[in-house]
């Protein structure tokens, strides 16, 4: 048995467990788990079991090729089920087996009569998203049987599947109501626990034989040989709070212990899928995403939307020394604090909040250590941005995230830098009130002004702005977002890592599983910093223009300097 299977089998008979949702890739032993669950019920808590396969044919195949051999090879089950047969239970057939205290009925989801007959306490779905497809317009098969379970105090619904399409998937919304457990495995080199994600798979020169998994922390090159150790030392950990009695487990094929599902094999599959997709056939890419990565396939959103943004990347702020795009008149940043690094995006703002991503910077290290913050401070204070009008701009302000494990450290860091407009930021994912609070909260260690930002409002406006197309030929456009050469595919994945869900407050944003969020978080914070400062960007632009004009009329320069406050504004 693979190490990740154990916890799932352990909770099956725990009191209060009502629903278990397994979203697994293929080659991970999902079928074995459901077989052991059935055997466990027959042994420990015999009662009616309904097992649903996508079709009647698959159901009879399953009995012939999986269930009957298991019974034959297991002395206990053999005795239980044969005994009943010898008593001449007349209802027994390919689709119905009785045993002491209960029965196992197996149904195809395309036969709704089988699903909605008598009440049954235990229901197990195999490949739920395929079941949905074959049950067609007759409604969701899992909702149909859930009603049949309501009479029982000790009922259990087990749903398993690889997810299908975004719009169709039934298992995915159910998984999102659970505690969404992921399997954290330690790196053999540095011991850092991480969730295996495709983004860390490397295959130089697109050659599968050169592929390796890169540790997210120490960057060690891990090969498939490291897998058994990592799996053995792995643990399931919830990533959110789920409904009571409901447990969910997400596992892509990257975790498969089987040699035929090695990392190298997955890379081979991906290379072929990409090749086919380039020829206009996305089917293999979809299979890879669904059954390999155990993710929903989104034919519209993820791929085309991201691609439109990738196609929009411009070359700017790249010369030596770099020069700002002319429209930039104000500069802010957002810094995300992770356990092993600080990630910063510096954004330039123009009239109407038109914006240019200027720099992205990672400071690697542990935020608990002072040197990291000194490096970060020196880097930020030394940044000078040359404007084509001849003036040097500095960063005006920025937000630093206090939401992670290092809130106290951020408060301490920010405390003596109030005059530099370093803002302590905390995101609130409830859609209440305006984006900015009327005033900061001081309710924290050290009484630092803390800005509680409504991130739903902030993301609403960022995602709406992403839809503004750049005009051709270019002209200043309020809200338009520009991306430069520092924005790679990974950056856009992070920027688009959110999706909307409906809540009691109207709506909220959730992380799309298996994505990272630094880019969108930094974006929200840079935007919040701009709004906290609230500069009149048109007025600032006017000041800059005057400065340029004053250079050609040296006599007026002094007066203009005195009458405008641009120098103090930027010379922080």
Q: Catalog residues that contact Zn ion under the rule CB under 5 A.
A: 187, 189-190, 192, 215, 217-218, 220
Of 146 and 220, the one with the shorter C-beta distance to Zn ion is 220
Decide whether 190 or 560 has the Cβ nearer to Zn ion: 190
Distance separating alpha carbons of residues 80 and 151, to the nearest angstrom? 26
Residue 468 vs residues 312, 463, 477, 481: alpha-carbon distances, Å: 11, 9, 9, 8
455: which residues sit within 8 A by CB, 6+ positions away?
Answer: 427, 428, 429, 509, 524
User: What's 217's DSSP letter?
Assistant: T
Strand 385-386 relative to strand 392-393: parallel, antiparallel, unpaired?
Answer: antiparallel
Please name which of 98, 109, 99, 153 lies closest in space to residue 131, comparing C-alpha atoms: 109
Q: Which is nearer to Zn ion, 13 or 192 (CB)?
A: 192
Q: Where are the alpha helices (DSSP H) in 346-406?
A: 370-382
For CA atoms 184, 25, 287, 187, give the dihedral sign: positive
- Taking the complex as a whole, the smallest distance from the CB of residue 366 to Zn ion amounts, in Å, to 14
Instruction: Give the strand pairing for 102-108 and 201-202.
Output: unpaired
If the CB atoms of residues 157 and 222 are measured against Zn ion, the closer one turns out to be 222
Q: Which is nearer to Zn ion, 187 or 346 (CB)?
A: 187
Name the 3-class secondary structure at 256.
coil
Question: At its nearest, how many Å lie between Zn ion and the CB of residue 33?
Answer: 29
Q: Residue 86: what are its φ and ψ, rounded to 5°?
A: -65, -30
3-state secondary structure of 203: coil
Q: Among residues 217 and 429, whose Cβ is nearest to Zn ion?
A: 217
- Shortest gap between Cβ of 338 and Zn ion (angstroms)? 15
- ∠430-464-360 over CA atoms, to 5°? 85
> For Zn ion, which is the closer residue by CB, 218 or 467?
218
d(CA 547, CA 564): 10
Nearest residue to 403 via CA among 439, 450, 354, 369: 450
Among the listed residues 54, 2, 69, 65, the one whose alpha carbon sits nearest the alpha carbon of residue 29: 2
Closest CB to Zn ion among residues 198, 423? 198
Strands (E), 438-542: 450-454, 481-482, 498-503, 506-511
Instruction: Report the alpha-carbon distance of residue 105 to residue 98 in Å, rounded.
Output: 8
Instruction: DSSP for 82-94, please give it.
Output: HHHHHTT-TT-BT
Minimum CB separation from Zn ion for residue 336, in Å? 21
Closer residue to Zn ion (CB): 80 or 516: 516
Burial of 297 (0-12, 13-18, 19+ CB in 10 A): buried
Rounded to an integer, what distance in angstroms lies between the CA atom of residue 163 and that of residue 287?
10
Distance CA 414, CA 231 (A): 41
């Amino acid at each position: 048995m693979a190490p990740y299977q154990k916890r799932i089998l352990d909770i099956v008979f725990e009191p209060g467990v009502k629903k278990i949702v397994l979203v697994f890739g293929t080659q991970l032993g999902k079928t074995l788990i459901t077989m052991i669950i059935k055997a466990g019920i027959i042994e420990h808590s015999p009662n009616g079991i309904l097992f649903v396969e996508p079709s009647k044919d698959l159901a009879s195949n399953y009995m012939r090729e999986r269930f009957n051999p298991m019974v034959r090879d297991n002395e206990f089950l053999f005795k239980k089920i044969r005994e009943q047969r010898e008593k001449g239970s007349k209802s027994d057939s390919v689709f119905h087996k009785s045993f002491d205290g209960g029965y196992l009925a197996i149904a195809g989801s395309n036969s709704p009569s089988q699903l909605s007959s008598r009440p049954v306490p235990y229901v197990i779905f195999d490949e739920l998203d395929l079941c949905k497809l074959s049950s067609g317009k007759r409604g969701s098969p899992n909702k149909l049987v859930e009603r049949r379970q309501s009479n029982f105090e000790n009922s259990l619904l087990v749903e398993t599947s690889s997810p299908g399409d975004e719009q169709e998937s039934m298992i995915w919304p159910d998984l999102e109501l659970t505690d969404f457990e992921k399997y954290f495995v330690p790196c053999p080199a540095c011991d850092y626990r991480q969730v295996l994600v495709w983004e860390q798979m490397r295959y130089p020169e697109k050659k599968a034989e050169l592929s390796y998994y890169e540790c997210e922390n120490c960057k060690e090159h891990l090969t498939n040989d490291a897998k058994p150790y990592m799996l053995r030392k792995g643990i399931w950990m919830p990533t959110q709070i789920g409904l009571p009695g409901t447990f969910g487990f997400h596992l892509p094929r990257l975790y498969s212990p089987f040699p035929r599902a090695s990392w190298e094999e997955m890379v081979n599959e991906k290379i072929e899928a990409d090749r086919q997709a380039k020829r206009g056939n996305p089917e293999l890419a979809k299979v890879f995403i669904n059954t390999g990565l155990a993710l929903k396939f989104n034919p519209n959103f993820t791929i085309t939307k991201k691609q439109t943004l990738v196609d929009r990347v411009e070359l700017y702020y790249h010369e030596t020394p770099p020069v700002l795009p002319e429209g930039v008149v104000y500069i802010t940043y957002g810094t995300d604090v992770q356990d092993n690094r600080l990630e910063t995006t510096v954004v330039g703002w123009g009239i109407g909040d038109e914006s240019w991503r200027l720099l992205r910077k990672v400071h690697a290290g542990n935020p608990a250590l002072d040197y990291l913050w000194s490096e970060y401070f020196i880097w930020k204070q030394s940044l000078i941005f040359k404007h084509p009008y001849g003036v040097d701009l500095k960063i005006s302000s920025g937000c630093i995230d206090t939401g992670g494990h290092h809130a106290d450290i951020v408060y301490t860091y920010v405390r003596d830098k109030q005059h530099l407009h370093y803002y302590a930021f905390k995101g609130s994912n409830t859609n209440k009130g305006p984006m900015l609070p009327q005033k900061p909260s001081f309710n924290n260690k050290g009484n630092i002004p803390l800005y509680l930002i409504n991130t739903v409002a902030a993301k609403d406006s960022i995602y709406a702005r992403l839809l503004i197309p750049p005009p051709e030929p270019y002209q200043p456009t309020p809200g338009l977002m520009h991306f430069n050469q520092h924005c790679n595919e990974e950056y856009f994945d992070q920027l688009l890592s959110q999706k909307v869900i409906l809540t009691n407050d109207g709506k909220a944003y959730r992380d799309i599983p298996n994505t990272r969020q630094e880019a969108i978080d930094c974006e929200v914070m840079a935007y919040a910093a701009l709004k906290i400062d609230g500069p009149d960007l048109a007025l600032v632009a006017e000041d800059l223009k005057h400065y340029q004009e004053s250079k050609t009329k040296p006599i007026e320069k002094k007066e203009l300097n005195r009458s405008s406050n641009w120098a103090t504004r930027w010379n922080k």
